[in-house]
Amino acid sequence: MTAIDPTAHLTAEQIEELGRELDAIRDEVIADRGEKDAAYIRKVISAQRKLELVSRGVLLFSFFPPAWLIGTAGLSVAKIMDNMEIGHNVLHGQWDWMRDPKIHSTTWEWDHVSPSDQWKHSHNELHHTYTNVIGKDNDLGYGIMRVDEDQKWHPFHLGQPLWNFLNACFFEYGIAAYDLELGKNLHKRRRKNPEFRARAKAVGRKIRKQVLKDYVIHPLLSGPSFLTTLAATFTANLVRNIWTHSVIMCGHFPEGVQVFERRSIRGETRGQWYLRQMMGSANISGSKAMHFMTGNLSHQIEHHLFPDLPSNRYAEVAVKVRALFEKYELEYVTGPLPKQVFSAWHKVFRLALPNKKPKVKRSDREQELIAA
């Protein structure tokens, strides 16, 4: 965490009471889930599929500029919906309680080059368990960025603004490589591991399927509009990737969000886990439309506290969660999208450079809290 621990004023008893209060919020929503929630996700899935179908139909005539613009915009929105409000949340098991085999985390496959089972392992099991723990949560900087002043600086970090920009443009491929843990598996001996080879083949099959759909079949169906449809599909994927990357960056990287050392989670209690999610996440304020287009990950704090609750309930949950932040005198990091994007990118540039000031030595009390 930062040199000055923003949770140091809380006693162990207060932290566990906070955990019980958050459990009560979760239990209340679970008891209240019902047909209204089920109707919501079915309506969203239906709307997304219709929008994608119509957009791809319009792009059959993408040789005409108005058709290209309308089709590309529609396909971009459809891909964002599939990725954010539907795919991400279905794969979290938010709708498993419906017992609908068509909308279930064990059967859902999304419009993404990363196979859903691999993504669920790296995201649900690792990222959400070890949120913002350096060396445990690979989502934190994706292994290509320095994310905290206490991390050792290397000349490689000078390029992290560029690495981050390229990762944003081709985000789905970056996620696939991240899910494979490609960095540590590039060694020849590791590449021969049967488990890694099987996962790599699964990613290869998914990439071929996505490329065939987006860059071969659909453009070919467009006939004389082949090249313009190809460009439209590439643009829609680019828009989806940059938007998704921006939302995720705003959720864990703005100034004010805490990172944690490995030793800080030894013997972590339920209340302490909740507290880490609260301090390691940030929200984006805005309209209902903006929240929808982020997959309700604009409520990132609430999502990390309750990753398996239906996303359409996060707005109401946020009111109660924010009240707990105020009660326990904690900072609720939030702000409009431009502010959060600027804050996250400012941090990317700032940490690309070596520290200009010596690290502030933590007090004995703060060291004890970290080790606890």
- Per-residue pLDDT of the chain in tens (372 residues, 90 and over written 9): 555 788 899 999 999 999 999 999 999 999 999 999 999 999 999 999 999 999 999 999 999 999 999 999 999 999 999 999 999 999 999 999 999 999 999 999 999 999 999 999 999 999 999 998 988 887 777 777 888 887 888 999 999 999 999 999 999 998 888 888 776 666 656 667 888 889 899 999 999 999 999 999 999 999 999 999 999 999 999 999 999 999 999 999 999 999 888 888 999 999 999 999 999 999 999 999 999 999 999 999 999 999 999 999 999 999 999 999 999 999 999 999 999 999 999 999 999 999 865 444 444 444 544 444
Pairwise CA distance, residues 133 & 130, whole Å: 6
**What is the length of the chain?**
372
Contact 41, 92 (CB under 8 A): no
Residue 186: C-alpha distances to residues 32, 34, 183, 349 (Å):
48, 47, 6, 28
Predicted TM-score (pTM) of the model is 0.90
The CA-based angle 60-87-114, given to 5 degrees, is 85
From residue 194, how far is each of 173, 188, 190, 240 by CA, in Å? Answer: 22, 12, 9, 33
Whether residue 181 contacts residue 120, with contact meaning beta carbons closer than 8 Å, is answered with no
Amino acid at 348: V
355's CB contacts (< 8 A; 6+ apart) are 149, 153
List Cβ neighbours of 171 (8 Å cut-off, separation of 6 or more): 241, 242, 244, 245
The angle that helices 171-179 and 160-169 make with each other, rounded to 10 degrees, is 100
Q: Please, are residues 278 and 327 in contact by the beta-carbon 8 Å criterion?
A: no
